[in-house]
Amino acid sequence: MDNLLLELKKQIIAQLNLQDIKPEDISDDLPLFAEGLGLDSIDALELIVLLQQYYKIKLTNADDGPKVFRTVKTMAEYIENHQTDK
Amino acid sequence: MYIRATGNISPQHTYGHPLFLPELVEYVDNRLSCIEPDYKGIIDAKQIRRMSRIIRMGVASALECLQEAGIDMPDAIITGTSYGCLEDTGIFLSRMIEYNEELLTPTSFIQSTHNTIGAQIGLLLQCNNYNNVFVHSGFSFESALLDGIMLLREKEASNVLIGAIDEITNISHSILNRMGLYKQNRISNKEIFKNKSKGSIAGEGATFFLLSNESSNTDYAKLIGLRTFYKPQKVEDIKKEILIFLEENTITLKEIDLIIIGKNGDEKLDRVYDCLQSEIFSQNVIINYKNLCGEYPTATAFALWLAVNIIKFGKIPKAIDYNGVSTSKIKNILIYNNYLNKHHSLLLLSECKN
Amino acid sequence: MSETIFVAGTGVISAIGNNISECLDALKNSRTGIKHMQRLDSVHKNKFPVAEVNLDNESLESLTGLSSLKSRTALLSLVAAKEALYNAGIENFDNLRTGFVSANSVGGMDKSEFFFTEYFKNNQKGRLCNVVNHECGSITELVAYQLGIKDYVTTISTACSSSANAIFFGARLIKNNILDVVIAGGADSLTKFTLNGFNTLMILDEQFCQPFDENRRGLNLGEGAGYVVLVSEKVANTLNKSPFIKLSGYCNANDAYHQTASSPDGNGSFLAMSGALKKSGLKPEDINYINLHGTGTQNNDIAEGSAIKRLFSPIYPKMSSTKAFTGHTLGASGGIEAVFSILAIQEGIVYPNLRLQTQMKELPFLPEPNFLQNLNIKHVLSNSFGFGGNCSSLIFSKI
């Protein structure tokens, strides 16, 4: 799980081009949207592709986004629960 | 109409530089790239992370112009871009082809649209006012300028932010190179008018102006007239258009202190300018500018920036090589540009009389 | 400056017809143009329905005389522009300053896609003829050349509001005494670039779209072109037309809220509509019909609906989104819908908002589900809102 969390943070930073932010700046429970990291709806769409590209998980219902992408931890939990090929 | 402020990111030291082109930045290449500022402190870190190079250049140049004008909410934002946001277009296209229409992300698509820069400026300023984008090759900037002039005439606006933005990317450079637009020999931009050869040198830029119908006492110059004409068949037609333009604005060539022309070093395209130089412009002081910024469809914006600065500083800058005739005070400047001998434009500038 | 701008002619091509009369027939008979994807060669063929023009490039060539090897956008543009010019019935252009102001969103992208498939394998490959008209302005020039227009040409691209802006820029060129006649509007053909782009935003409907329905799921893309011929009063006086239609109001405003999403209260839409009303000197209750932007996305329809509520409450004009017929034709939509708005006045009709089942719970009104005729339609408001917050509204009026 810890590896996955770190990996995810690096991927989020790279995919969203979060300048001047390091993985250690994103705590596992930091809200990714709004008052936390400040991501927006376009970022949510980027994260959907991230899940698909690196974890082969297809989030078919965009409405699930806010739940899944609440924090890095919720993302990691979702990945662990939905990864079938590992 | 008054040009109150400017912002310019170009292949020369134009952005945030207190001196007016003290020297020519040399490029021994057929590609001149913009000298970009450090955007930290200009654009908020949260907003900049998605912006491609052309968007950053456009936004920074627009913000500099507004800051100089002391205006935080222009009545209109009008941009001209021929190529639009090529980098994002290229990213989305290449990924779409490589991944066979799967695993695509929205950011590059959203930012590929031609209205991205104008919209980003509007968004940053929270400006709900008129916002328009012209995308017509060598008329992109001229159309934007005409739109702004009409808004001022119609009293729909009292100040308008008008800009031209075009970028070269590796992809566009390689394609336009294959089309024969650029020189194949390595030559310095200092030499392009001396050693004629086929093709020009690629350029780019992000240039903004604040145009107002009220004088502010600190304006650069007055914009007296603008005329465009499309695909003239022969040089005679061009001469005719120039004379009509001067007559419309009740000025003669004798009264023009300086003419800025759009020669680009291409032996064939420059013939039109040579003809005019040896005929109707033969008694005028003439300078070139495309050795400074390169050739691109919205290069007239650089010429306009140069003209209004020459009027403001009262002199032709050191970076410009000209035939040395000592001129009295430069009050009236004519710009004549054509892009690929298809899109022709004339601009007339005068000093502001206080 | 206060001169009246007259509409002398209209022309259109879309998935529901290749000209005015075919489109009218489909509109009157509730025949949608949205279908299973046939012409566009996309891997998403079986997933997303689209509204394709029912002619291949070769047929468009024989209709227009322009080579089928050119961008489909130019071919579509030429069909509609030619029809508009023909309908205008201007016999002699000799002493008229004539311009072509066209809009599109991705230029010759349909051909560029072929080019780049080769180019990305080897940057010396790819046929240059497929990329030479990539730029938006190039499409306009191909068509202007065929129309014989040289006095003034330009191109506008403000995403989905592009051709509405082209129309009112054209009108202002006449008001400012720069031109006498302007053919204005826009065109876009379906491309993989735009289809995939909208897919990344997850706003494409896998079923037929349901604009302004509580259960709407997104939009279907379409293609086509729509143009109006605008003329000065001087030119209008030489033409034999009745009733004449004028462009009585227009406004361009920016939502300045988000790169793609509209503000929840539709502030930009409100400013565009109220600005157009102000320009025309009309009151909200004077408007008889609104041709909605109505894409069918969650976001657009609530924003546009909220703005209409704020501006028109408590009396609402008839309204409908014709995108349920034509799909969202992006850079062409403002042109096509301007033509439909003018036809609504000329014919005294209101188009049905197809597939409307459930009223949106946030809105106190329902667009018109049925085709209505024998009405006296005097003033029509046409909305076009786009990415980047670019919102424009036009008002056409009977004289």
Same domain, B27 and B133: yes
Rounded to whole angstroms, the Cα distance separating B226 from B220 reads 17
Per the DSSP assignment, residues forming a β-bridge with A33 are: A39
Q: Which one of the listed residues C23, C136, C251, C293 is annotated catalytic?
A: C293
Same domain, B289 and B158: no
Same domain, C302 and C227: no
Interchain proximity B133–C156, CB inside 8 Å: yes
CATH code at position A64: 1.10.1200.10
> At residue B253, does pLDDT exceed 60?
yes
Q: Distance (Å) from the C-alpha of residue A53 to the closest C-alpha of chain B?
A: 6
Domain boundary residue, one of B167, B185, B212: B212
Domain boundary residue, one of C201, C236, C271: C236
Same domain, C256 and C232: no
Q: Does C387 touch chain B (CB under 8 A)?
A: yes
- Give the residue numbers spanning the domain of A43: 2-82
Same domain, C363 and C333: yes
Same domain, C217 and C305: no
Q: Distance (Å) from the C-alpha of residue B25 to the closest C-alpha of chain C?
A: 30
In this complex, the residue of B97, B129, B153 whose CB is nearest that of residue C253 is B129
Domain boundary residue, one of C185, C215, C236: C236
Same domain, C126 and C162: yes
> At residue B354, does pLDDT exceed 60?
no
Per the DSSP assignment, residues forming a β-bridge with B347 are: B226, B335
A-chain residues within 8 Å CB-CB of C258?
Answer: 40-41
CATH code at position B301: 3.40.47.10
Q: How many domains does chain B have?
A: 2
Same domain, C187 and C271: no
Same domain, B154 and B236: no
- Give the residue numbers spanning the domain of B138: 2-212
Same domain, C127 and C191: yes
Same domain, C270 and C356: yes
Q: Which residue of C has its CA nearest to B123?
A: C256
Same domain, C166 and C262: no
Alpha-helical (H) ranges within B99-229 are 106-110, 116-125, 140-153, 170-178
Please indicate, yes or no, if residue C347 is contained in any of the structural domains. yes
Same domain, B114 and B152: yes
- Give the residue numbers spanning the domain of C325: 248-398
Classify residue B25 by burial, with Cβ atoms within 10 Å: 0-12, 13-18, 19+.
middle
Same domain, B148 and B205: yes
Domain boundary residue, one of B146, B178, B212: B212
Q: Distance (Å) from the C-alpha of residue C186 to the closest C-alpha of chain A?
A: 28
Residue type, B277: Q
Same domain, B158 and B244: no
B-chain residues within 8 Å CB-CB of A38?
Answer: 46
Q: How many domains does chain C have?
A: 2
Residue type, B309: N
Same domain, B196 and B262: no
Same domain, B203 and B252: no
pLDDT digits (tens, 9 = 90+) for C182-224: 999 999 999 999 999 999 999 999 999 999 999 999 999 999 9
Provide the residue-wise pLDDT of chain C in tens; the chain has 399 residues: 558 999 999 999 999 999 999 999 999 999 999 999 999 999 999 999 999 999 999 999 999 999 999 999 999 999 999 999 999 999 989 899 999 999 999 999 999 999 999 999 999 999 999 999 999 999 999 999 999 999 999 999 999 999 999 999 999 999 999 999 999 999 999 999 999 999 999 999 999 999 999 999 999 999 999 999 999 999 999 998 877 899 999 999 999 999 888 999 999 999 999 999 999 999 999 999 999 999 999 999 999 999 999 999 999 999 999 999 999 999 999 999 999 999 999 999 999 999 999 999 999 999 999 999 999 999 999 999 999 999 999 999 999
Check if C251 is active-site: no
Check if C379 is active-site: no
Contact present, B332 and B129 (Cβ < 8 Å): no
More confident residue, C101 or B44: C101
Same domain, B106 and B202: yes
Q: What is the CA radius of gyration of chain B?
A: 20
Same domain, C123 and C34: yes
Candidates A45, A46, A47, A64, partner chain C, best to mutate (most C CBs within 10 A)? A45
Interchain proximity B107–A46, CB inside 8 Å: yes
Same domain, B76 and B187: yes
Q: Does B105 touch chain C (CB under 8 A)?
A: yes
Please indicate, yes or no, if residue C324 is contained in any of the structural domains. yes
Interchain proximity C201–B106, CB inside 8 Å: yes
Check if C328 is active-site: yes
- Report the 10 Å Cβ neighbour count for B102: 15
Please indicate, yes or no, if residue C241 is contained in any of the structural domains. no
pLDDT digits (tens, 9 = 90+) for B323-345: 666 667 899 999 999 999 999 99
Same domain, B112 and B184: yes
B-chain residues within 8 Å CB-CB of C120?
Answer: 93-94, 97-98
Same domain, C269 and C359: yes
pLDDT of residue B324: 64
Interchain proximity C200–A41, CB inside 8 Å: no
Domain boundary residue, one of C195, C213, C236: C236
Candidates A13, A15, A17, partner chain B, best to mutate (most B CBs within 10 A)? A17
Same domain, C130 and C63: yes
Query: Which residue has 């992809």 as its token pair?
Result: B171
Please indicate, yes or no, if residue C299 is contained in any of the structural domains. yes
Interchain proximity C202–A45, CB inside 8 Å: yes
β-pairing, B332-339 vs B258-261, is: parallel
Residues 90-109 of C with CB under 8 A from B: 105, 107
Domain boundary residue, one of B212, B239, B260: B212
pLDDT digits (tens, 9 = 90+) for A10-47: 999 999 999 889 999 999 999 999 888 889 889 999 99
pLDDT of residue B326: 60
CATH code at position C96: 3.40.47.10
Q: How many domains does chain A have?
A: 1
